[in-house]
């Protein structure tokens, strides 16, 4: 019986410590990602190679499906299942392409994480700054981190100097759909055109 109790205690201890170690601090999470991105951008490799490595980081750490759904805005409710599946696939390609294109222009971005603000169980905003250089001033970057699964935090938005990229994208997509009298296919077509450029 004593052996059983010891075993149970050890089992519970292991479970609790495993849970503890699996929960990732959002600030550390962002620091690690920016560090990895910076290392890639500093590498003496081609732009395409840089883009591929950045895409790998994004696929692991960004909630692309979540951003895609958010970007659909009110049209999320009217889209049918087939269209949604098609959209998710096209959006993923679009996101990764534009993401790597935007980021690969920076040669040596140094980002310092400053603080974090836990909004609720699901979201933490991590504040950071892109250190100033001769070419540009210091830029504030906030990261909306989705923490529903604390062991697997994911980035959902980048807020640069207070301007949300996800919101901008949502309003852009809405504009495309509205211009086509609410037809989501117009957005799919535009995204496909972008992907094939």
Interface ranges with another protein (CB under 8 A): 63, 65-66, 69-70, 73, 98, 101-102, 105, 119, 122-123, 125, 134, 136-137, 140, 142, 144, 146, 148-149, 152, 154, 156-157, 159, 162-164, 167-168, 170-176, 179, 187, 190-191, 193-194
Nearer to another protein, 57 or 187 (CB): 187
CB of 190 to another protein, least distance (A): 4
* d(C-alpha 145, C-alpha 153), whole Å: 6
CB of 51 to another protein, least distance (A): 13
Nearer to another protein, 6 or 140 (CB): 140
Nearer to another protein, 82 or 105 (CB): 105
10 Å CB burial of residue 121 (0-12, 13-18, 19+) is exposed
* d(C-alpha 192, C-alpha 91), whole Å: 9
Q: Compute how many other C-beta atoms are within 10 angstroms of the C-beta atom of residue 177.
A: 23
Q: Where are the alpha helices (DSSP H) in 23-154?
A: 26-42, 47-61, 64-72, 81-103
CB-side neighbour CA atoms (13 Å) of 150? 11
CB of 47 to another protein, least distance (A): 14
CB of 8 to another protein, least distance (A): 31
């Amino acid at each position: 019986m004593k052996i059983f109790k010891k075993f149970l205690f050890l089992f519970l201890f292991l479970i609790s410590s495993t849970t503890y170690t699996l929960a990732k601090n959002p600030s550390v999470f962002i620091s690690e990602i920016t560090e990895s991105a910076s290392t890639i951008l500093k590498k003496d490799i081609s732009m395409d190679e840089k883009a591929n490595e950045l895409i790998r980081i994004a696929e692991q750490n960004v909630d692309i499906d979540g951003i895609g759904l958010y970007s659909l805005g009110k049209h999320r409710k009217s889209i049918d299942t087939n269209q949604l599946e098609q959209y998710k696939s096209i959006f993923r390609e679009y996101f990764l392409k534009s993401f790597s294109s935007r980021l690969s222009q920076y040669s040596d971005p140094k980002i310092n994480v400053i603080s974090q603000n836990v909004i609720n169980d699901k979201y933490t905003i991590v504040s950071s700054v892109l250190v100033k250089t001769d070419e540009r001033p210091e830029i504030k970057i906030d990261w909306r981190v989705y923490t529903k699964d604390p062991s697997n935090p994911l980035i959902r938005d980048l807020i640069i100097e207070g301007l949300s990229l996800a919101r901008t994208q949502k309003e852009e997509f809405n504009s495309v759909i509205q211009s086509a009298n609410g037809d989501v296919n117009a957005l799919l077509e535009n995204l496909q055109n972008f992907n094939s450029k």
